[in-house]
Amino acid sequence: MDKAVSPLPDDVEALKALLAAAVLRADDAEARLAKAKARESAIEALIAHLKLQIARLRREQYGASAERSRHLLDQLELQLEDLEADACENDCAAEAAAAKTSEVAAFDRKRPSRKPFPEHLPRERVVIPAPCLCPSCGGARLSKLGEDITETLEVIPRQWKVIQTVREKFSCRDCEMIMQPPAPFHVVPRGWAGPSFLAMLLFEKYGQHQPLNRQAERFAREGVALSTSTLADQVGAAAFALMPLYRRIETHVLDATRIHGDDTTVPVMAKGKTDTARLWVYVRDDRPFAGCDPPAALFHYSRDRRGEHPRAHLASWAGILQADAYGGYNELYAPGRQPAPVIEAGCFAHARRKFFELADVEGAARRRSRGEHTGMIYPIALEAVQRLDALFEIERGINGKTAAERVALRQERSAPLMADLHAWLTAQLAKLSRSHDLAKAIGYMLRRWDAFTRFLDDGRICITNNAAERALRCVPLGRKAWLFCGSDRGGQRAAVLYTLIQTARLNDVDPQAWLADVLARIAGHPAHRIDELLPWNWRANAGVLSQAA
């Protein structure tokens, strides 16, 4: 039996008291929603500000100064994650407050638009049972009009399994000969680790910057206890097995007539301390001038930064080298160098950076607010940055065009700007003392003016060395996780794996899927067909992709 609804009181004073209580409840709900709206507005403004800061930091070129600012970028991203989570939590709290009253409308926060889930993901339909009878009249004649589908992204936890490869033995009843199928090829001796496991191990260490000790801890939590030394053995053996691919990528990079070069520091263990070693990178990327050859990145390791290392790396190579003004390259540019002199192409990003540091108005304001010493902000430096930015704007418009089209447009648009820039820099230099910071920044460009103007006559040349700096980005990120290389052999092994992983990324190939397939096949693959396993050929092979899936 239905519960009777209590009637309203007949007394006027009681009715007034009941109405006043209802008004107070509505006022409380409105106050809660107003506070929630105020919090939402403040958080939305801060989120927008942080996104702008992160976007600005991401646009900065990667170099020594940008590596120092990477800590700030990481902190901003963490802060942004927390603020967006706070905004969503406040939104839920506001909706819950609104649900307590039917008089006040909820405040709706504008949510970021989400892209549809990828089509290649499998779909599992969970159909909620429909009613068998009409809840209004009790009729059973129901007709389906359609359906509403809500998609939820879910993940299946990683599963471990042991594959038992059985080789049965047979004996011949006639001659008593014992026979058995041959053992399968393994990428590592006494291979107890499957190719997918090895690929995950390598990619987590060198692609996701997870040291082996952290991986071992996670494996143990998942019920598979493996020591760090055991995992290290597998990494070394897998790197050795992949050396043929490294050599083929090295040949491909050094076949180019124009490459990007750069280097960065990497700590390496020494006796009771760490030394500062170097990782060098040489990048072949012809996509800016519509080249057809696939991109690739080649890494080398050295214990120090002596000029003999790039000379050894490029001993048999001649062409256009896009790099910074490191003195170790100078012997490569010598006229009598064999097999031929290397042609220098200047990097406008490095030149701009020197002026930008002297015209960093925002950075000076931040330092001033913290009570730190601030240098002078020079109008000359600010104008130099603006003049260089005009050249960058032209380059953004011609990126991807053929070399001939780039030369024609540069002669029309960039050449007059370069002539004006040279005259302006020369005039400004005459007004400054030789020891002035601005004079050093201007001299950096004027002393290498031929290298900086070479892009006007060759459409293959880019005006920045950003391709090499982007390829090196993985090293500063990894340094924060694994801190140092354990030995020189560890540094050389890192160079091999960085080469493979970064080359796969340049060719839009999933490094882990590619490594898993290559490690499964390389032991039995014919040596004269090793090029089939290179990332750009692997991607083009639809059969391989289907097997990896």
Query: From the centroid of its chain, how far is CA 68?
Result: 17
Task: Please count the other Cβ atoms lying within 10 Å of the Cβ belonging to residue 526.
Answer: 7
Distance between CA atoms of 259 and 385, rounded to whole angstroms? 26
Distance between CA atoms of 447 and 418, rounded to whole angstroms? 15
Strand ranges for 289-381 from DSSP E: 296-302, 320-322, 343-345
Distance between CA atoms of 277 and 485, rounded to whole angstroms? 9
In sequence order, which ranges of 120-242 are alpha helices (DSSP H)? 195-206, 212-221, 228-241
Residues belonging to the chain: 549
**268 in Cβ contact with 274 (< 8 Å):** yes
> Which residues of the chain register pLDDT less than 50?
1-6, 61-68, 102, 104, 107, 542-549
* Residue 138 Ramachandran class (φ > 0 left, ψ -120 to 50 alpha, else beta): left
Residue spans per domain, the chain: 21-99, 244-489
Distance between CA atoms of 129 and 297, rounded to whole angstroms? 55
Q: Is the dihedral of CA 521, 523, 529, 531 positive or negative?
A: positive
Query: From the centroid of its chain, how far is CA 224?
Result: 30
**347 in Cβ contact with 451 (< 8 Å):** no
Query: What pLDDT sits at residue 63?
Result: 44
- Under DSSP, is residue 345 helix (H, G, I), strand (E, B) or coil? strand
**473 in Cβ contact with 357 (< 8 Å):** no
Distance between CA atoms of 465 and 264, rounded to whole angstroms? 14
* H or E element at residue 280: strand 273-284
Distance between CA atoms of 160 and 262, rounded to whole angstroms? 41
Task: Please count the other Cβ atoms lying within 10 Å of the Cβ belonging to residue 185.
Answer: 12
Strands 273-284 and 296-302: antiparallel
Task: Please count the other Cβ atoms lying within 10 Å of the Cβ belonging to residue 353.
Answer: 21
Q: Is the dihedral of CA 248, 253, 256, 257 positive or negative?
A: negative
DSSP states of 3-51: PPPPPPPS-HHHHHHHHHHHHHHHHHHHHHHHHHHHHHHHHHHHHHHHH
Residue 223 has, within 13 A of its CA and on its CB side, a CA count of 4
Distance between CA atoms of 213 and 144, rounded to whole angstroms? 57
Q: 197-212 b/e with 16+ CB inside 10 Å = b?
A: bbbbbbbbbbbbbbbb
As beta bridge partners, residue 453 has none
Distance between CA atoms of 166 and 309, rounded to whole angstroms? 50
Query: What pLDDT sits at residue 182?
Result: 87
Of 480, 517, 484, 514, the closest CA to residue 500 belongs to: 514
